Structure formats: C-alpha cells, structure tokens
Amino acid sequence: MAEAVVSMVIHGLRLLGSLMIQQAMFFKGVGDQVELAQTELLLMQGFLKDADARQENEEVVRLWVNIIREAAYDLEDAIESFVLKVALKRDASVKVVLKRFACFLSKGVDRYKIGLEIESITTKLSKLRLTMQSYDIKQEKGNEGATSSMRQRERRLTYPHVIEHHVVGLGDDTEMLATHLVEEKGPQVVSIWGMGGSGKTTLAKQIYNHKKVKSHFDCFAWVCISQQCDGTTVMKEIFIKLSGVSDEQRQGIANLSNDEIAERLCNFQRHRKCLVVLDDIWTLDAWNSFNGGFSVDEETESRILLTTRNREVASLARGNSLLYESRALCADESWNLFRKIALFEMDDTNSDSQIYSKKEELGKNMLQHCAGLPLAIIVLAGLLGRKDTIDEWETVHKNVNVYIRRGTDLEREYKGQKHGGASWVLALSYHNLPYRLKLCFLYLANFPEDYEIRVKRLTQLWMAEGFISTTSTEMMEDVSYSCLSELVERCMVQVVDIGISGKIKTCRLHDLMRDLCLLKAEEENFLHVVNFYTGTRNNTTQIGRVRRVTMYVNKMVGQLVPTTRGAPLRSLLYFCPQYSGIGIKKVIRSVFNDFKLLRVLKLEDMQGLKELPSTIGNLVHLRFLSLNNSGVENLPSSVSNLVCLQTLDLRCQIGNSPNVFKKMEQLRHLYLPNWYYHKVRGGLSLATACNLQTLVNVNCGNCHLNALVELYNLRKLSIKDEQGSEHWKKLEEFLKSRSNPTFQHLRSLSLELWGHDSLTDLSGIRSIYKLQLRGSSIKELPENLLSFPNLIKIKLVSTRLKGDQIEILEKLPHLRVLYLQGQVFSSLLSNTLVCNNRGFPNLEFLSLRGLPEIEEWRVEEGAMPRLHKLCINWCELRAVPDGLQYVATLKELTVERMSSKFCSRLGEDGEDFNKIKHVPSLLITGTESR
C-alpha cells in the first residue's frame, strides 16, 4: 500500500513540480527541492514492493513502511498548502494560481520556509532509503502486489485426496461438470471461478474423485499454482504425476529445458486420456508461463480442470471450453452445512432440546453474516462445534464478524498447521492486487454495508482522489472504469446491475470482503469511518492524521465535525438518511474553515442544509463537490475559486446561481440544479471546460450557444427549453448537422421541449445509445430514427405523439429498453395500443407508467419475441393483452398501483391467469380501489 501512496503522490506532484521547475528563476532553488524530493520517491518505489509484501509478518518493516507513507503525504501537504495561500489572494485559473505562486514565493520568507520544509522531508526520505539494507529489503521488478511469503504458499497448498466431509449444495454441479469432462466432444478446459472461500477447490475435488471421472481417464495430475510460479517447474511436476516415472527418470526430466518438457507433456496428453487439475491460477502471466505444455485447440481426449479467482484467467481457453462461476449457498444449503458441523452431536429430539432450540436460533442469526460463503460458514460452524454452552455461543454471537474473520480458537487441518478464519484467504486476493488497484479497493470501505454503489459516481471519486493516471490518448473515465472491471474480474467486487449498454451500472462488496476492506483501510491508516448508525455520540472524533473520513449519520445526530482542527483531511463523505433534516450551519462552516486541503466533499441528502458559507471558496484543491438532494438554495459566488473541480453536482433547490463555471478548466461532470426555473445569472458559459463529458439540466433559454458547440468531449447532454427560444433553434441546427464534430462522442441525449413547434431531425447525433424525449411540444419522433445504428434505449415522458408513431418505435432494429410515461400519445385509435406481429424484435424491457390514454393493449403473436421484463404502473388498462401468452421469454411481470379489479384478473382463478401463468416471477404491489 505504501507503494500505491507514493505513486499517487508522485503523479499528483508532477504538474506542480514541473511548473515550479519551469519557473525556477522565481523560485530560486525551491523547484530543485521539489525535483529532488520526487527523485527520492521514485528511488523508493521499487523497494516498497518487497516491503509491502513483508509487512504482514514483520512489525519493524510495517513501521518503516508507515513512516514512508506519511512522509510522502507530508511532502504533498507542504506544497499544496503554499498553493492554497496564493489562491486565496484572488480568483484565478490553475495556471494563473501557479504563476502567482512563483511571484508570491519570490518575496523570500515564504520561499525560504517551503524550501526548508521540502528539504527536511527529502532528507528524511533519503535516510529511510538508506536503512533498507539493515532490513534486507530488496528492489523488486514486475509481479507487483505478489507476496513472496513461503508461509502463505504452504498454507494455500491443496491435495485431492484430502476430501471435505461436510459438503452441501454441490451434488448437481459436480455431476454436471463431471459429465462434461468425460463427453467425447466435451470441452477441453473446464474453468471454475469465484471469490476466495466460495468453494472452488472443494468442487474441483468432488469432480476429480467422481467415479465417472476416475473410470474414464488413464492419468491424473493435481497441481496447486503459486502466485510466483515457474512455468518450467510446473510442467515438469505435471509430467511426473501423469507418467508415474521412476526416481531415475525424474532426474532426467529435471534436466530438460522449457521447450523439451513442453513438447513431451503435449505429446503425452495426445496419446493418453489425461486429467490435469490446475488449482488456484492467479494471473494470465502464470498460465502463459506453462501453456506451451497444453494443446487446448486440438481434439484430444485429455482435459484440463482449473480454479481461479480471476475471470480473465477462467476465459483463457478461447476454443472449446466451459466456464462455471462458483455460487453462494442459498439459505437452506447454508443451514444444512452449518448444522452438520456445529450441531452434529445434537438434535431437537434429545433431552437437551431446549438448548438445541436456543443454539439453532443463535446459529441462524449468526449465519446471516456469512452471506452464503462456504468458507465463512465452515469457520463459524467449526468454532461453535467446540463450544458446549449457551453462554459460549452468545459470546461468539456478540462479535460474530470478528470470529468469522479471525477464526479465534479454531484449528483447521491444513498441511499440519494451525490457522483459521476467512480473513487470510480473502486477503490473498488483496495482496495480489497491483498497487494502483489497492487504492481503488480500499476506497470502497467508505460505503455502508449492503450499499449499492453507482459506478459512475465511484469512478468520479477515484479520479478526484488522484488514484487514476492516464496517457494523453486515454480518457480518465475509461481507465477508471477498467479498474472497476478488473476488481470484478478478480472477484473482489460484486456486480449488482448491468446497464443496457453492457457496462456495469451498480456494484457492492460482499459482507466479508467489506470486512477485509475495512480492516486493511484501518491498518494502512487509509480512511476512518464514523458510524452513528450504531449509536455513537462523540462531539468530535480524534483520528490523528488520517486523510479520509466517512460519516454515517442518522436523523438525530448533531455532531458532524469529523476530526480535530487543522488535520490534513483530503476527503469527507457524509451518508445521510434520504430526505433527512440534517445540516447544521455552524458545523458546515467549521468544515470549510478547518479542512482547506479537501479534494472530495459529499454533502448529499442533507435537506436541512439550506446555504453554503462564502468560505467554500477557500477549498481551492476541491475536485469533487456534490450537493445532490440537499436543501441548498443559494450558491456563493466564491465557488468560482474552485478551479480544480472535476465533478460538480448541484442537483438541489438552487433557484438562481452566479456564473461560477468560467474558470473551471478541469470540469468533467456538471449537474445543474433540477429546479425547473433555475437560471444562471448572465447566462451559462462553459467556453473553457473543454474536458466536459456530462452536462445535465441545461436551460436552453439561459445558455450561450458557444457554451455547447465547443464541448467536443460531451458524452451525456440533458437540455430543456420552455418557450421555443432562439437559442434552441440554433442548437437544433447543430443537432441536424452531420458535418459538425461537436457531438461526435455523445452517447446519451435528453431533450425537454415545451412551447416548441416540432422536433424534426437529429441526424448529427446518430451515434447515440440513449434518447429521452419529454414535453408536449413533441408530436412526432425525429426523422431518420430508424437509421440510428446504436440506439438501444428510449424514454418518452408526457409527449403528445400521434398514434401512428408506435409503428416507428416497434420497427427500431436495436431497441432493447422502452419507457412510456405520462400521456405519451395524443390520438390513439379507440384508446388502444397495438404491438404488431414482428414488432419490437429485440425489446427486452418495457415499462408502461401513468398512461391515461391507454385503456386496451393488444399484442399480436410474434411481437416482442425477446421481452424479459414488463412493468405496468398506475395505468388505466382493463386487462393484460392476450398476446402475452406467446411471449415465452417473459421472466418477470411487475404490477404497481393498478386497480384491484385489474389485479384480481391475474390471480390463479382470474380471467387473465392463463395469459401470464408461464411467467416465473409476478409481483403485485400498491393495489388501488378504483
């Protein structure tokens, strides 16, 4: 982790340092001091790989690493604090601030002070580097994040003959995968992947020892792959196990070169029926180091079975392969496994039935903390199986997460060693992360338990923290998203929802992975969580020099100040109950006065927060500011000082706001207030925001045209026009023009039009994926919509489309998601919506919400052949259409706020039951008596 912090600091200082060096004639040596400090950090990086890996088991190294991490932070603080002094003199852009910084320091006293401070830190770093020899710390290259501990290697060794006796829920999967392995034309490679502790190795053992498998194959080899494996050694080990050679022959094999052993291993598998199990492969590099010994593209009778935590590795065989994801146990399976281990000597019919009943109650409660993870269940059950009394069980119950994580008092038979708990197994995944991903992973500890994290917001936070570095050809957002994708591939993060474009929309942490995340974040002094949900009532929380604080606050708490005054805080996130009245003027003012190095400030859902103090302009290092769903009504003009902002979310109750955006050159995501009558005084101007990608809630009548037409990097645009203004007419010309490069990267467009004559042509934005149209001015869909190659989602709200426009919608070849809300159609024949045969060929999701004009809905046979989910909400429909019975793909039907008469028709005795009886999931809520 120290390596990650040092790398982040180096990257963050690169701009400041280079400009200071360029202005050396003003700085008179200060720029040289910055350059020397950066050099020391660069020299330190290679050694920190070894130190980071060893600090788990060596206390002295751990302390040494902590000192280096704090020194790197101190260097960053020293330089940015002086930049702050200059920025507060007057409004300025980033470049102007830095130039004034040079002039400011040329006065002598301040230049001398910063130079002395940087020199002191540099000297400290130099001395720390020279002490490496005494700790035998070596410079490592490559394999970043891989642990070199032999002890961990031994603890991870697995043996196929050591069979787990308590196995549940794997019977069907074992049978299915074993059958695939012995099929004549079956997959050459079967990959089992999943997070640590999910039962991958257990399943592999069941398959390996399955009688069908044992009778089919001639030769077997089980090899556990280390994180730092040698490919040649692995191939030799496999060949020896498959061939059963003598001791004399083993010596000859030991002398073979990489090419020679690869050829022998391939040939052997061509002529025999071999099963090779590769347990726990971590990286593609590991596979590539020995894949020369396998011909996975040939049709042989030999097979490979592998387990991995990395989905990319699981997909390594591009040809004839099968990928299986290990799953969490369901509630019944979890209880059966727990009961077999923890209550094996008891049952509810013996004389201690009352004790059994109490233990059963405690056990089921504690079992929820395991979240279906087999390893966690085994750890907990194994511990409780050794506890005889109710008091002992209740002791575990009070701190169940600690017992699961550490496995206190638990001895497991594993290579003859005593160790327990789920923590060390999951921690292997953390230690294997590249340094750039360790920061991203630990940041997830900010979010509350079971919190559904929006990926776009998460990536914005990562960027603001300085975790994401890019080349000139890469977009920071794309690199940030790839970091999340890699954490998902490594089974560190769980996907909750996939967007219609196929990208991850929301994610979360498994409970035990979150415990690990919190534990590591605390050990590394990475962040601190103040949790008022649990009843804490401290006026202030003394947490020293921690850089990041997250506060979970409830409706009653009034103590919102996180740290002591003057702490070098960089990130402050509040998680409040939605629509809470929290927001104390005095407390918020204290935040702006005391923590002037803040980069991230999240004040969402604070309905009691009505205004921001003018001192917000002091936070010139701020890169992320969100007031989303807060009660803020006015925006101070001093916000214009925040020239480093990348993300600014003002979706709150602000009516009129000053044009504070002119100097925000770094702005990438801007969410304007969603208050309908919001205006920017003097008109919105964004001429300098050339990096802007997200622009939401723009009022066309209050926006200079050049504020949009020069934003060549826009990906998402939401704009509204109430009166058919001249500005809209000019913008419409740009939306038509195919030669205009302004919107070439646009992927999502939302238009809200009231009082405009028509919407005729959007040919200039044919690359969009998502289109939302709102407003009674929209009578017809844009021309040429059928020729849009990527359009997969449309949302229509309160439009007044002519009835025949449904025929255009149902012909869109790529449309997968359709929302119809409010009075969408103005002239439907007989108030009937008709979906014709072959209409909506690729539609997967359809939502009908608040459509008073539709009383009948007809679906012809052959319409919507791929529909998966249908939502009907607050409509005047009298019945579901007969044609739904032909939509065999429909898996989920949700009915909300519909009349009791309509809902009664869907019951087993209802008139419409036969139309929807094939649908696996039917959810009816909020029935209304109308």
Amino acid at 420: G
Position 220: which residue type? F
The residue ranking higher by pLDDT, 542 or 870, is 870
pLDDT of 359-376, one tens digit each?
889 989 998 888 888 888
Q: Does a structural domain hold residue 713? A: no
Read off the pLDDT of each residue in 757-784 and give the average, rounded to a whole number. 85
Which residues are within 8 A (CB) of 251 and not within 5 positions of it... i.e. 6 or more apart?
Answer: none
Q: Once rounded to an integer, what is the mean pLDDT over residues 705-725?
A: 80
pLDDT, mean of residues 749-761: 77
Confidence of residue 146 (pLDDT cuts 50, 70, 90): very low
Give the Cα separation of 521 and 509 in Å (integer): 14
Percent pLDDT > 90 in the chain is 36
- Written as six digits, the tokens of 643 are 């020239």
Degrees (nearest 5) of the Cα angle 409, 412, 417? 100
Please give the full DSSP string across 26-58, using - where no structure is assigned: HHTTHHHHHHHHHHHHHHHHHHHHHHHHHTTT-
Compute the distance between CA of residue 266 and CA of residue 300 in angstroms, rounded to an integer. 10
Q: Which residues contact 643 (CB under 8 A, 6 or more apart)?
A: 87, 92, 93, 94, 97, 620, 663, 664, 665, 666
Of the pLDDT bands very low, low, confident and very high (cuts 50, 70, 90), residue 663 is confident
**Per-residue confidence (pLDDT) for residue 541, from 0 to 100:** 43
Which range has the worst mean pLDDT, 129-143, 164-178, 603-617?
Answer: 129-143
| Between 756 and 777, the higher pLDDT residue | 777
Per-residue pLDDT at 377 = 86
| Residue 238 identity | I
Pair 491, 549 in one domain: no
More confident residue, 115 or 815: 815
> What pLDDT is stored for residue 159 in this prediction?
65
pLDDT (0 to 100) of residue 662:
84
Residue at 728 is within a domain: no
The enclosing domain of 398 has a CATH number of 1.10.10
- Given a cut of 80, whether residue 133 has pLDDT beyond it is no
Return d(Cα 652, Cα 670) in angstroms, integer. 13
For residue 460, give the nearest of 720, 716, 832 by alpha carbon: 716
The residue-averaged pLDDT of 298-316 equals 88
pLDDT for res 121: 83
Question: Does one domain contain both 838 and 863?
Answer: yes
563 and 500 in a common domain: no
* Single residue among 464, 496, 522 that ends a domain in this structure: 522
- C-alpha distances out from residue 905 to 849, 854, 896, 922, 929, Å: 19, 18, 14, 13, 14
Q: Let me know whether 855 and 900 are in one domain.
A: yes
Residue 418 pLDDT? 38
Calculate mean pLDDT across residues 323-349.
79
The residue with greater pLDDT, 475 or 709, is: 475
Q: Tell me the pLDDT tens digit for each residue of 453-495.
A: 999 999 999 999 989 877 666 889 999 999 999 999 888 899 9
In sequence order, what are the residues at sequence separation of 6 or more whose Cβ sits closer than 8 angstroms to the Cβ of residue 134?
Answer: none
Same-domain pairing of 14 and 79: yes
* Residue at a domain's end among 634, 664, 692: 692
Q: Based on the fold, state whether residues 512 and 541 are members of the same structural domain.
A: no
Q: Is residue 873 part of a domain?
A: yes
- The whole-number pLDDT of residue 511 equals 84
Tell me the C-alpha distance between 611 and 832, whole Å: 49
CATH of the domain at 298: 3.40.50.300
Give pLDDT, residue 197.
Answer: 85
Report the pLDDT averaged over residues 185-201: 88
Confidence band of 536 (pLDDT split at 50, 70, 90): very low
For residues 573-582, give the mean pLDDT: 73
Residues 176 and 286 placed together within one structural domain of the fold: yes
More confident residue, 907 or 117: 907
For residue 501, pLDDT over 80 is answered with yes
- The predicted pLDDT at position 410 comes to 39
Please, which residues have CB within 8 angstroms of residue 793's CB and are 6 or more apart in sequence? Answer: 500, 769, 770, 771, 815, 816, 817, 818
State mean pLDDT over 186-191: 89
What mean pLDDT comes out for the span 223-246? 87
Question: What was the pLDDT predicted at 554?
Answer: 73
Residue pair 492/520 in contact by the 8 Å Cβ criterion: no
Looking at per-residue confidence, does 784 or 637 come out higher?
Answer: 637
Task: For residues 507 and 532, state if they share a domain.
Answer: no
Residue 818, pLDDT score: 97
pLDDT (0 to 100) of residue 346: 64
* The pLDDT of residue 204: 92
DSSP conformation letters of 411-455: ---BTTB----SHHHHHHHHHTS-HHHHHHHHHGGGSPTT--EEH
For 658-721, strand residue ranges (E) read 669-671, 679-680, 694-699, 716-721
- Residue 750 pLDDT > 60, yes or no? yes
> Is the pLDDT assigned to residue 392 strictly greater than 70?
yes
> Could you tell me if 689 and 642 are in contact, meaning their C-beta atoms sit under 8 angstroms apart?
no
pLDDT the model gives residue 923: 95
Calpha distance 28→109 (Å, rounded): 12
Q: What percent of the chain has pLDDT over 70?
A: 79
CA atoms of 718 and 771, how far apart (whole Å): 10
pLDDT at residue number 415: 32
- Mean pLDDT score of the chain: 81
Q: What band does 585 get if pLDDT is binned at 50, 70 and 90?
A: low
Average pLDDT rounded to a whole number, residues 423-450? 87
Give pLDDT tens digits for 457-467: 999 999 999 89
Question: Of 78, 222, 239, 226, which is closest to residue 153 (Cα–Cα)?
Answer: 226
**Between 475 and 95, where is the model more confident?**
475
In whole angstroms, what is the distance from residue 791 CA to residue 92 CA? 42
Cα separation of 189 and 74, whole Å? 51
pLDDT band at 165 (very low <50, low <70, confident <90, very high): low
Q: With 70 as the cut, is the pLDDT of residue 5 above it? A: no
Q: Which has more pLDDT, 590 or 112?
A: 590
Cβ atoms 592, 619 nearer than 8 A: yes
CA quadruple 632, 637, 641, 645: dihedral, nearest 10: 40
Under the banding of pLDDT at 50, 70 and 90, the label for residue 587 is: low
Asked whether the beta carbons of 842 and 819 are under 8 A apart, the reply is no
Q: CB neighbours (10 Å) of residue 96? A: 15
Q: Which of 660, 692, 724 is the last residue of a domain?
A: 692
The residue type of 883 is G
* Number of alpha carbons in the 13 Å side-chain half-sphere of residue 641: 23
Total domains in the chain come to 5
Distances (CA, A) of 123 to 42, 44, 69, 71, 126: 14, 13, 15, 10, 5
CA dist., res. 57 & res. 211, Å (int): 43
Give the model's confidence band at 217: pLDDT under 50 very low, under 70 low, under 90 confident, else very high: very high
Same domain, 435 and 384: yes
Q: Is the pLDDT reported for residue 221 higher than 80?
A: yes
Q: Identify the domain containing residue 469 by its residue range.
A: 349-522
Confidence band, pLDDT 50/70/90 cuts, at residue 888: very high
Using CB atoms within 10 Å of the CB of residue 749, give its burial: 0 to 12 exposed, 13 to 18 middle, 19+ buried: buried
Of 168-172, 742-746, 769-773, the poorest mean pLDDT is in 168-172
Residue 466 burial by CB count (10 A; 0-12/13-18/19+): exposed, middle or buried? middle
At residue 811 the predicted structure's pLDDT band, cuts being 50, 70 and 90, is very high
Q: Which residues pair with 552 in a beta bridge?
A: 531, 575
Are 404 and 141 a contacting pair, CB within 8 Å?
no
Task: Return the closest-CA partner of residue 33 out of 115, 106, 100, 109.
Answer: 115
pLDDT over 50 at 430, yes or no: yes
The alpha carbon of residue 232 and the mean position of all alpha carbons in its chain are separated, in whole angstroms, by 37
DSSP letters of 175-227? HHHHHHHHSTT--SEEEEE-STTSSHHHHHHHHHT-HHHHHH-SEEEEEEPPT
Q: Cβ atoms within 10 A of the Cβ of 757, count?
A: 10
Q: What is the CB neighbour count within 10 angstroms for residue 870?
A: 22
pLDDT tens for 551-568 read: 888 765 555 555 556 668
> How would residue 678 be classed by pLDDT, with cut points 50, 70 and 90?
confident
- Is 360 part of a structural domain of the chain? yes
Q: What angle do CA 313, 318, 319 make, to 5 degrees?
A: 140
- Residue 724 in any domain: the answer is no
Q: Are 576 and 606 in contact, with CB atoms under 8 Å apart? A: yes
- One domain, residues 258 and 180: yes
Same domain, 647 and 570: yes
618-634 pLDDT, tens per residue?
A: 888 899 999 999 889 99
Q: What's the whole-number mean pLDDT along residues 149-167?
A: 56
In the numeric block, the tokens 């070596």 are attached to: 138
DSSP state of 549: E
Which range has the worst mean pLDDT, 543-557, 743-757, 780-794?
Answer: 543-557
Residue 537: predicted pLDDT: 43
Q: Please determine, for residue 57, whether its predicted confidence score (pLDDT) is greater than 80.
A: no
Whether 511 and 538 map to the same domain: the answer is no
pLDDT band at 153 (very low <50, low <70, confident <90, very high): very low
Contacts for 107 with CB less than 8 Å, ≥ 6 apart: none
